[in-house]
Amino acid sequence: MSREYIHLGLNIDHIATLRNARNEGDPSLLELAFEAQDGGADSFTMHLREDRRHIKDKDIFEIKEHAKLPINLEMAISEEMTKIALQLNPRSVCIVPERRLELTTEGGLDVNAHFAALRPLVQELQAAEIEVFPFVEPDLTAIDLCHTLGCNGVELHTGAFARGWKNIYERHRQVQRLQLAAEHCAKLKLELHIGHGLNYVNIGDVLNLPGLTEVNIGHAIIARALKTGLRLAVAEMKALLEKKV
């Protein structure tokens, strides 16, 4: 699919993490989804983890019902998640590896090891008109396997690029890796998404990857919202205190 501009998928898992700290609905995921929508986000990415540590089942269905933007559901390979994805019917599913003790999705999916399970999963999701994007390292073999599976595209894991960004040699090496992977996707006509660790500083180095249609970003944008919003939030409370003598 070619697009006139690179779409921004906003990962809203961190908002749910903050909400869950009190479990009283503040901040409201839906209210902030509307804010993000007004800010120009193109889609919402949510990872419904097996342990439900941030996004809950209710969240994905509420966002689907009330927000206007398409949903990109991140999920592990499991029967439970497949059932939920088919019920939700998001625009796309990003198939991710999942380990209980990890802080976040630490690496790409081992497509080779999961090939047998992926084949029926990809077919079942696509039969329901859900696009499928495995989350893979910028590795040509993994990309070939996604092509064999008939996936719509891949989301390339940019974690190694983001981690290595401060070292100019490593940055160059990782951009080259992503470039080769992107060219390979273009050759195979696989749509290209990227995500993980992207921020306001490093994004410029990956924007020109050939065929890039979507970036999925969470942490940097939610952290930035705190930085840009905290001054006003404090000032608003101070203004209320000034009314009391």
Instruction: Give the catalytic positions in this structure.
Output: 47, 74, 196
Is residue 202 close enough to count as binding ligand PXP by CB under 6 A?
no
Q: Is-cis flag, bond preceding 27, omega within 30?
A: yes
Q: Give the interface size with ligand PXP as a residue count (CB under 6 A).
A: 19
Instruction: Mark out the alpha helices in the chain (DSSP H runs).
Output: 13-22, 29-39, 57-66, 79-88, 115-127, 140-148, 159-164, 168-187, 219-242
Query: Which range of residues in 56-64, 77-85, 142-150, 212-220 is near ligand PXP by CB under 6 A?
Result: 212-220
Is residue 216 close enough to count as binding ligand PXP by CB under 6 A?
yes
Least distance in angstroms from the C-beta of 14 to ligand PXP: 7
- Say if CB 229 and CB 207 are below 8 A apart: no
Q: Of 46, 94, 154, 178, which one interacts with ligand PXP (CB under 6 A)? A: 94
* Residue showing tokens 């495995």: 134
Residues whose CB falls within 8 Å of the CB of residue 226, separated by 6 or more in sequence, listed in order: none
Is residue 90 close enough to count as binding ligand PXP by CB under 6 A?
no
Q: In the stretch 22-51, what mask flags binding to ligand PXP with x, by CB under 6 A?
A: -------------------------x----
Q: Which two tokens stand for residue 17?
A: 């993490």
Nearer to ligand PXP among residue 135 and residue 165 (C-beta): 135
Q: Nearest to residue 192, comparing CAs of 110, 108, 135?
A: 135
Is residue 135 close enough to count as binding ligand PXP by CB under 6 A?
yes
Is residue 205 close enough to count as binding ligand PXP by CB under 6 A?
no
Of all residues in the chain, what percent are helix, strand and coil, respectively (each to 5)?
A: 45, 15, 35
31 φ, ψ (degrees, to nearest 5): -60, -45
Is residue 59 close enough to count as binding ligand PXP by CB under 6 A?
no
Query: Which range of residues in 54-62, 184-192, 215-223, 229-237 is near ligand PXP by CB under 6 A?
Result: 215-223
Least distance in angstroms from the C-beta of 234 to ligand PXP: 26
Q: What Cα–Cα distance (Å) separates residue 241 from each residue in 58, 110, 121, 125, 178? A: 36, 55, 56, 54, 52
Q: In the stretch 158-197, what mask flags binding to ligand PXP with x, by CB under 6 A?
A: -------------------------------------xxx
Where does this chain bind ligand PXP (CB under 6 A)?
11, 13, 47, 74, 94, 96, 104-105, 135, 155, 195-198, 216-220
